[in-house]
Amino acid sequence: MKHDDPNRRLDELAVNTLRTLAMDAVQQANSGHPGTPMAMAPVAYSLWQKSLRFDPADPIWPNRDRFVLSMGHASTLLYSLLHVTGTRAVNPKYEVLGRESVSLDDLRRFRQLDSRCAGHPEYRWTSGVETTTGPLGQGLATSVGMAIAREWLAARYNQPNFDLFDYRVYALAGDGCMMEGVASEAASLAGHLKLANLCWIYDSNRITIEGDTSLAFSEDVAARFQGYGWNVLRVGDANDLELVERAFASAQRCTDRPTLIVVDSHIAWGSPNKQDTHGAHGEPLGEEEVRLTKRGYGWPEDAKFLVPDEVREHFANGIGKRGSDARAAWMNRFEVYRAAFPELADELMRIQRRQLPEGWDRELPSFPTDSKGVAGRDASAKALNAIAKCVPWFLGGAADLAPSTKTRLTVDGVGDFSATNRAGRNFHFGVREHAMHAVLNGLSLSKLRPFGAGFFIFSDYARPAIRLSALMELPVVHVFTHDSIGVGEDGPTHQPVEQLASLRAIPGLLTIRPGDANEVVEAWRLTMEQRHEPVALVLSRQAMPTLDRAQYAAASGLRRGAYVLADAPGGKPEVILMASGSEVALVVAAHEALVAAGVRSRVVSFPCWELFERQTLEYKQSVLPSDVRARVAVEQASPFGWERYVGLDGRALGMTSFGASAPLAHLQKKFGFTVDAVVAAAKLQLVAEPKQSVHA
């Protein structure tokens, strides 16, 4: 930074304000990462004050530029920016409140209970945070979804003289992000799609938690990104604001590729005796080092959380005025647009509020009784396209598996999203499961309704992004097919066993495994109604008999998570059989055999544990009465967790090993998923000595 340039005096003062706020917050908490916020403060300042189109008075207006802090450990940098710019808070109803998003008190309580300054940035908790970050690389991959969303929104809604969507997406990342595979997947996809509205800033400081990056990272990142098809720029000194500003201007002029700006920085401070770079990266500096560093900045050594009035005024006259003017012009333009294109304007209002069109479910199919039945993935394909026909912003694709997952949209005119067709609603993510699900999060953060599909076994590759869907309360649809050993000949590598239990363990995620075609339709109906909750929809490859709903309970029971599908004569069962997915038909057959043998059995279809747990105790008791302790659960997956519903003296027939490669019928016999096995387990329950009571 040019200390002797009078035109830069306010710039320097503002940068040092950001630095000292970060230092003070970390020191007060005695926890956090001060080094990166200090080193990258000039770059973040330049972007926000000179380039970013963001209105602090309305941080959610639709055409704002997005800033993603992918290296979430540098959170105090973002919190300091939100404070000095005077960013306002927004409530869950999308109403702008009078209070600050981040107050000085919040900064003083950094990393403390209920502070809006959590250890890593949290979406929905702190206004101005565009996405939850912390797991490195996730922010970068999510930003690709945001950039795709802008292109799609512009293709559908921009009209001559009405450029409603032309925002840009910026993401700040470090060496750790560049090492994570999800970032590489996402960068490859972004380059392929030529997302010129995307700019990543790479803080190349050559330091990670263990020390110098030479320990484990020696590649030429710039060359790698050139290979991805990116525009690569370099800034040799993070403190040189003129170079930084020129780099951002150059990125904005690039119209055919995403841009990576490689910024060389050093984690450094005022004290000549401080040598422990690891400490600066991942630990507070210490009171004495803070004072010495402030002295080096020419800052009052004992002042804490100091924000000079002229700095606030400087930001108000910069990003504040620029953002306010841009938002006001956009809102005026939208009112004229609304008069000229009322239907498109109505869609945009619904998108922003996560509302569906009127009659969105009118095309959903109903399946007739069929003993052979329909595969879950095939029933889903019909529902998927029925929804796509009525919800224009419903879009998605698969990780190179659309023909197998049956998730290609075939509605007239949907097309394929590509570098040359931004209006397409079918996405080709390639073999990039992790990046795909992170991109879905970015699309959802932009208020579109995305889905992404793959084989259930590969949910393991996607789980970190699915977890973030739940953490951020995003209504993303994660579609998984080939849900069990029903994959057959593909063998153990493709047969999911522990994946159901794994996803059920994620708070805030609805894991739904429908039992026949009509349950699949109900699952989609319920899924689309979610505004703040993601769904993992787990579907079969093999056909499942379509039940006669005149004989058995209506499929709408799925909405309660579990319901009595078939009951004993008189409604007082001796034994309860429970199942999800393709095993529902199996326990129905076992139930019929038991009833014929004079055993009063009940069948409970159990597609979603999370929904069942939300029901009243009265309802749960009506489905699983506590005085019926003979219970059998059947699922071609790990039995882990079923003890909640069968009790310690109940029986869960499941997979306690990996599968095998063979035709499905052979696997069912080998692993005990047969009518005879279920009947035998039920009868054994009736004669077994009970060990404990069962509570629904």
- The residues annotated as belonging to the active site are 433
What is the full DSSP assignment across 78-109?
HHHHHHHTTPEEE-TTSPEEEEESS-HHHHHT
Cβ atoms of 437 and 398 within 8 Å: the answer is no
Q: Identify which of 162, 204, 169 has the alpha carbon closest to the alpha carbon of residue 186.
A: 169
Max CA pair span of the chain: 95
What is the full DSSP assignment across 114-142?
T-SS-SS--TTTSTT--S---STTHHHHH
- C-alpha separations of 294 from 14, 270, 521 in Å: 14, 7, 62
| Strand spans (E) along 456-583 | 477-481, 510-512, 535-538, 543-546, 563-566, 575-579
The secondary structure of residue 550, as a DSSP letter, is T
- In the block, tokens 């107050």 appear at 103
User: Is the four-CA dihedral 541, 547, 549, 555 of positive or negative sign?
Assistant: negative
β-strand 510-512 against 535-538: which pairing, if any?
A: parallel
Please state, in angstroms and rounded to a whole number, the distance separating the CA atoms of residues 204 and 222. 11
Please state, in angstroms and rounded to a whole number, the distance separating the CA atoms of residues 271 and 274. 6
What is the full DSSP assignment across 564-584?
EEE--GGG--SEEEEE-TTHH
Tokens of 282: 């991942």
β-strand 370-375 against 543-546: which pairing, if any?
A: antiparallel
- C-alpha separations of 94 from 88, 251, 355, 366, 424 in Å: 12, 31, 13, 36, 29
The secondary structure of residue 231, as a DSSP letter, is E
